[in-house]
């Protein structure tokens, strides 16, 4: 094949074979498992010409790769495969669930503590919803847990303006159709009345866009606070705002179950990825030492209100107030 590079030849030959004839895994699945994106996003990157295999840009996700193949995204080599990890995150209100926002709003990934691996969210919470969000470095696991067919219950604590009777909530168990969109069975319980508001426990299994708010609007209720308390077997508990907690491997095995582990291709045997800190070049280190010497020789100057206040301002940024007064509500366990 004159004029064709060996790398391009290999990629072309692999793409001509069916998945059953070619060893390895689909390239989009490998990218997703590396935690860079979901499998669907990886496929869009391939279509855009951002992915190469063994030096050759590919245009179709119908390509199997093996550990010996060299995969790069935007000319950056894919890092070594890492053990599947799962994190519980208490998302504050006011953050969007995305890596970048075209409107310039704050995102959860910019607010996460330092030192975490590259993570993707399992589903989303809108900007005004707070509570439990699952994060993982495994795109295959994220895809499986997002599917409505998985059937995991998402449980919310809801404060809404208005009044409703339990009988009206019970009718939601058969599902409801709103503006041509069908919402599946809903488990809703009236917990208490508080001033002009009611507190509800709301359980859904599909998680369609703004589902809780839209369903309650049909009952004459206006949601003014929405907290996700649980996603399947994982619960928010007493996790503080903005805090992250890793789920240990034995707990993951027990709560995910054998079927999900098999379907998602979860890997508990791969090593943990540790990002090595590279020492700065010699000239950079010399400049740094010079700056440190100069700063020590200069008298310290306080910057007025900015000095020592930044941390407090950052805390105020996501501080929430319960406008109904009284202590913040707990997250009670669902009624049996």
Q: Are 10 and 22 in contact (CB under 8 A)?
A: no
Sign of CA dihedral 12, 16, 22, 27: positive
Residues designated catalytic: 126
Q: Which residues of 119-137 are buried (b: 16+ CB within 10 A; e: fewer)?
A: bbbbebbebebbbbbbbbb
CA distance 77 to 140: 20
- The 3-state DSSP class for residue 12 equals helix
Smallest Cα–Cα separation from 202: which of 174, 163, 233, 228?
228
Q: Can you tell me the distance from the alpha carbon of 90 to that of 150, in angstroms, rounded to the nearest whole number?
A: 23
Task: With beta carbons less than 8 A apart as the criterion, state whether 213 and 160 touch.
Answer: no
Q: Please, what sign has the CA dihedral across residues 171, 174, 175, 176? A: negative
């Amino acid at each position: 094949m004159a004029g064709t590079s060996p790398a391009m030849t290999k990629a072309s030959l692999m793409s001509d074979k069916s998945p059953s004839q070619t060893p390895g895994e689909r390239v989009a699945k490998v990218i997703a498992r590396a935690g860079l994106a979901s499998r669907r996003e990886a496929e869009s990157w391939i279509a855009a010409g951002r992915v190469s295999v063994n030096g050759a840009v590919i245009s179709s996700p119908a390509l199997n790769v093996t550990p010996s193949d060299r995969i790069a995204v935007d000319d950056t080599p894919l890092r070594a495969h890492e053990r599947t990890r799962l994190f519980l995150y208490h998302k504050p209100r006011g953050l969007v669930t995305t890596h970048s926002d075209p409107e310039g709003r704050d995102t959860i990934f910019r607010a996460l503590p330092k030192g975490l691996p590259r993570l993707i969210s399992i589903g989303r919470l809108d900007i005004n919803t707070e509570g439990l969000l699952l994060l993982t470095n495994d795109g295959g696991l994220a895809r499986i847990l997002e599917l409505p067919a998985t059937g995991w219950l998402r449980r919310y604590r809801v404060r809404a303006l208005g009044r409703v009777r339990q009988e009206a909530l019970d009718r939601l168990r058969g599902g409801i159709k709103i503006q041509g969109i069908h919402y599946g069975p809903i488990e809703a319980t009236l917990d208490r009345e508080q001033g002009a508001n009611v507190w509800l426990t709301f359980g859904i299994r599909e998680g369609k866009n703004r589902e809780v708010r839209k369903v309650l609007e049909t009952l004459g209720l206006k949601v003014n606070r929405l907290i996700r308390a649980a996603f399947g077997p994982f619960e928010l508990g007493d996790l503080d705002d903005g805090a992250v907690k890793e789920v240990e491997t034995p707990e993951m095995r027990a709560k995910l179950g054998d079927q999900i582990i098999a379907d998602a291709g979860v890997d508990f045997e791969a090593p943990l990825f540790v990002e090595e800190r590279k020492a700065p070049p010699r000239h950079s280190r010399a400049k740094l030492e010079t700056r440190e010497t100069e700063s020590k020789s200069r008298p310290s100057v306080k910057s007025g209100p900015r000095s020592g206040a930044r941390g407090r301002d950052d805390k105020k940024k996501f501080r929430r107030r319960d406008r109904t007064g009284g202590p913040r509500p707990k997250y009670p366990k669902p009624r049996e």
